[in-house]
């Protein structure tokens, strides 16, 4: 059987595909666990790193989110740097490198001295570590999704890609669950003095597990074929092409301009997912505390419920997109967010609303985001050929997250501070989703049936 014929029956053995799924997923779990923990402990970090007197006021929270956003703005740099390496020397060695960097930087946060110990140097040290995290995180997504989708059996690319998003949800849930546990078993004083460090230090054993899995990972068949100079079809447009003869001469990589256009289109298709995901799943705890007066524990419980809705929707959404197409599922999720963001937020603001109703609201918001996150990775992989897939989909994802996720906390908190309008998070989600909807509508309905381009 030729390499191309094998690719059409599933890229590699079922065992290799499952191993690739686990090895690709675990790095995402660590990455988003840490980013979630940073968001959930934003008020504690503000008090320890951004205020001399240790009081986490709104101004310090804005500074904390500025550091949060800065890490996201280094993600595109990491996506370009590691993506180029991954498209040239392989997915496997690049993914090993980025998980090492992410683990080291995350653990470093748990060891950093606070403002009380070293003064103004504390926020600078924190920001430097966040930059390293941003670089490594930028190189994670493109490689992980490339590995998952290039190993995926026919007709299951959406489901395999959805595991990337599902482990994001697991990471956020793990971070929220651990934060809620610490808030329950520790006094507020202990939590602020040393308890907040524990979730960051936990990255060390998680990272060692991820390293072991990735050392056992095979290189993807698509990359091996590309490196040998064969492919199964040039395809047309940004979504893939019709099948070609089994073996054909390799074509030149797409031009920088063509790749740039695909990246820009990818950003448009991801922006609603980025904005809504971080607004409802990460920024929510700080919003509930600083704007609605909820306790730290109440805010974390609400976030766990939202992330549960997100997690439960992802894999069914990815599998459904393998049957009816990426466009149908992602457009449905976007429209739901546009229509429901404000009513859901108003329900949270209502002091007379029951706890069950509020739980249903945040659960529903998370599930709507899951409709975007499930098909999203496969949708991106289908937009780029193997020679630029790691770089192209990584850049689209990183740039979308830098602008619409990383800045979500900063934008929402600053606008609430300036206007006093508690509906700002809903306005932000609705505006970004509405702007990105035309790009999703431009998806071809049969992209999920087409072979990935080599």
More confident: 6 or 216: 216
| CATH code given to domain 13-223+256-445 | 1.20.1250.20
Secondary element (H or E) of residue 126: helix 121-151
Q: Does the structure show a pLDDT above 70 at 304?
A: yes
Could you tell me if 388 and 329 are in contact, meaning their C-beta atoms sit under 8 angstroms apart? Answer: no
pTM: 0.80
Question: What average pLDDT score do residues 245-258 get?
Answer: 61
Q: Taking a C-beta distance cutoff of 8 angstroms, is the pair 409, 286 a contact?
A: yes
| Mean pLDDT, residues 286-290 taken together | 76
Which run of H or E residues covers position 421?
Answer: none
What are the angstrom distances between the C-alpha of 279 and each of 171, 303, 307, 421?
Answer: 16, 11, 12, 15
Half-sphere exposure of 91 (CA within 13 A, CB side): 32
CA atoms of 448 and 428, how far apart (whole Å): 30
Can you give the pLDDT at residue 68?
67
Most confident range (mean pLDDT) of 240-249, 259-268, 298-307, 440-449 is 259-268
Domain ranges of the chain: 13-223+256-445
Give residue-wise pLDDT tens across range 162-171: 999 898 788 8
Using pLDDT thresholds of 50, 70 and 90, give the confidence band for residue 235. Answer: very low
d(C-alpha 67, C-alpha 124), whole Å: 9
pLDDT number for residue 368: 95
H or E, element range at 57 = none
pLDDT at 250 over 60: no
Between 175 and 5, residue with greater pLDDT: 175
């Amino acid at each position: 059987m030729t390499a191309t014929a094998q690719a059409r029956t599933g890229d590699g053995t079922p065992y290799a595909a499952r191993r690739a799924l686990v090895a690709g997923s675990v790095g995402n779990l660590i990455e988003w666990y840490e980013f979630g923990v940073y968001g959930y402990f934003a008020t504690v970090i503000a008090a320890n790193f951004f205020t001399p007197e240790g009081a986490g006021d709104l101004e310090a929270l804005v500074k904390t989110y500025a550091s949060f956003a800065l890490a996201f703005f280094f993600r595109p740099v990491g996506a370009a740097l590691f993506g180029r390496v991954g498209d040239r020397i392989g997915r496997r060695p690049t993914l090993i490198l980025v998980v090492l960097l992410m683990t080291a930087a995350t653990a470093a946060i748990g060891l950093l001295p606070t403002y009380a110990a070293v003064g103004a140097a504390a926020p600078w040290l924190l920001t430097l570590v966040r930059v390293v995290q941003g670089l490594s995180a930028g190189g994670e997504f493109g490689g992980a999704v490339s590995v998952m989708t290039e190993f995926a059996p026919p007709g299951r690319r959406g489901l395999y890609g959805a595991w990337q998003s599902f482990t994001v949800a697991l990471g956020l849930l793990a971070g929220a669950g651990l934060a809620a546990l610490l808030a329950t078993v520790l006094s507020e004083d202990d939590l602020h003095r040393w308890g907040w460090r524990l979730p960051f230090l936990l990255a060390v054993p998680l990272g060692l597990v991820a390293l072991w899995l990735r050392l056992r990972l095979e290189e993807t068949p698509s990359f091996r074929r590309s490196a040998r100079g064969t492919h199964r079809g040039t395809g047309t447009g940004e979504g893939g092409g019709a099948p070609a003869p089994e073996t054909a001469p390799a074509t030149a990589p797409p031009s920088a301009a063509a790749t740039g256009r695909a990246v820009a289109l990818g950003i448009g298709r991801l922006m609603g997912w980025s904005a809504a995901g971080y607004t409802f799943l990460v920024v929510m705890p700080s919003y509930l505390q600083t704007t609605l007066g909820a306790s730290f524990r109440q805010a974390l419980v609400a976030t766990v419920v939202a992330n549960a809705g997100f997690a439960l929707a992802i894999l069914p959404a990815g599998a459904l997109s393998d049957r009816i197409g990426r466009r149908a599922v992602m457009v449905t999720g976007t429209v739901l967010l546009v229509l429901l963001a404000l009513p859901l937020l108003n329900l949270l603001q209502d002091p007379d609303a029951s706890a069950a109703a509020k739980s249903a609201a945040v659960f529903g918001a998370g599930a709507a985001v899951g409709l975007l996150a499930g098909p999203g990775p496969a949708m991106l992989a289908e937009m780029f050929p193997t020679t630029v897939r790691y770089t192209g989909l990584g850049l689209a994802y990183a740039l979308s997250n830098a602008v619409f996720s990383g800045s979500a906390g900063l934008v929402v908190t600053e606008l609430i501070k300036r206007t006093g309008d508690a509906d700002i998070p809903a306005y932000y989600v609705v505006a970004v989703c509405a702007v990105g909807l035309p790009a999703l509508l431009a998806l071809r309905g049969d992209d999920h049936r087409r072979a990935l381009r080599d």
